[in-house]
């Protein structure tokens, strides 16, 4: 089993703060994973936050409850617009090489949105 690099490194960063979030009943009813449920419960009670989430069921839940979302692809586009990365396409290739499936249509749309096509 591969080690979760993020989980290993997270405790070493200074900006990280772990909090306990009580699960909101309207989130529990969606039967999502613990992480998705915690993130969405937090966002439900803190409307000024976006949630960064890619899980399809969690995104449907967020949409139904009016929670603002940002996925990995959207984060890459935003990072390029802010000059933090040079290429959305290169990042998407890395995501695919890590074993995450992305449709050709999504990749094309993301590259167009980032001005790469």
- What pLDDT score does 19 carry? 86
Q: What is the pLDDT of residue 2?
A: 58
Percentage above 70 pLDDT, the chain: 97
19-55-114 Cα angle (round to 5): 100
What's the pTM value of the predicted model, to 2 decimals?
0.74
Tokens 């992480």 map to which residue? Answer: 35
Query: 25-40 burial, b for 16+ CB within 10 Å, e for fewer?
Result: eebeebebeeebbbbb
Task: Note the pLDDT tens digit of each residue in 32-87.
Answer: 999 899 999 999 999 999 999 988 999 999 999 999 999 889 999 999 999 999 99
């Amino acid at each position: 089993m591969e080690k979760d690099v993020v989980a290993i490194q997270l405790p070493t960063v200074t900006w990280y703060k772990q909090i306990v979030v009580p699960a909101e009943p309207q989130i529990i009813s969606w039967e999502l994973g613990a992480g998705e449920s915690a993130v969405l419960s937090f966002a439900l009670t803190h409307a000024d936050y976006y949630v960064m989430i890619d899980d399809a069921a969690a995104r449907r839940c967020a949409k139904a409850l009016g929670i603002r979302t940002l996925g990995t692809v959207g984060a890459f586009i935003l990072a390029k617009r802010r000059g933090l990365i040079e290429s959305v396409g290169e990042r998407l290739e890395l995501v695919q090489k890590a074993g995450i499936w992305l449709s050709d249509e999504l990749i094309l749309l993301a590259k167009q949105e980032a001005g790469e096509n």
